[in-house]
Amino acid sequence: MKNLLKAIACAVVVFTCYNCSVEPAEPIQDELLTSQEDISDVEIPEVNCTSQDPQAILTNNSLVAVDFEVFDQFGLLMTHAYGVPAGDTSTTLTFPDGITTFVVSTSSTAKEVKIDMGNCMVYEVEINENNQLDTDVPTQL
């Protein structure tokens, strides 16, 4: 019985030693340096937006066509994208800065959002599959 326990213990040690492998760490470090060099080689263009007019883009992920209108602070229509089909994106609409009202409408509903749009801002509107407005905050270019 003692010999059987010793044999099992010896087999476990031998089995563990044969299943372990030792690999040098140098190639891993070389791979990391190579990937860091690749990242540093990529040039990121600088965007210096100084006086570009605000923009708006509508992405229609719903199942119906959507109308997108942009009004100024006095209620005058500045630009629009009518009949944006389901699964499509409107053209980029540009307009002067200031208090802007965006109206997103379908045949059954309409949603109005007022935002103070400044230069170098973009308002990306997304309509989800349930005809809900997912975004109501502009981003800086």
| d(C-alpha 73, C-alpha 114), whole Å | 9
- Domain-embedded: residue 49: no
Does the pTM exceed 0.75?
no
| d(C-alpha 13, C-alpha 36), whole Å | 40
The β-bridge relationship of strands 110-117 and 77-84 is unpaired
Question: Containing domain of residue 130, as a range?
Answer: 55-140
CATH number for the domain including 123? Answer: 2.60.40
The answer to whether the beta carbons of residues 69 and 56 sit under 8 Å apart is no
The answer to whether the beta carbons of residues 97 and 123 sit under 8 Å apart is no
| The total number of structural domains that make up the chain | 1
Tens-level pLDDT at each residue, the chain (141 residues): 667 777 777 666 666 656 655 555 555 555 555 545 555 555 555 557 888 999 999 999 999 999 999 999 999 999 999 999 999 999 999 999 999 999 999 888 899 999 999 999 999 999 988 888 877 788 887
- Domain-embedded: residue 100: yes
| Amino acid symbol at 9 | A
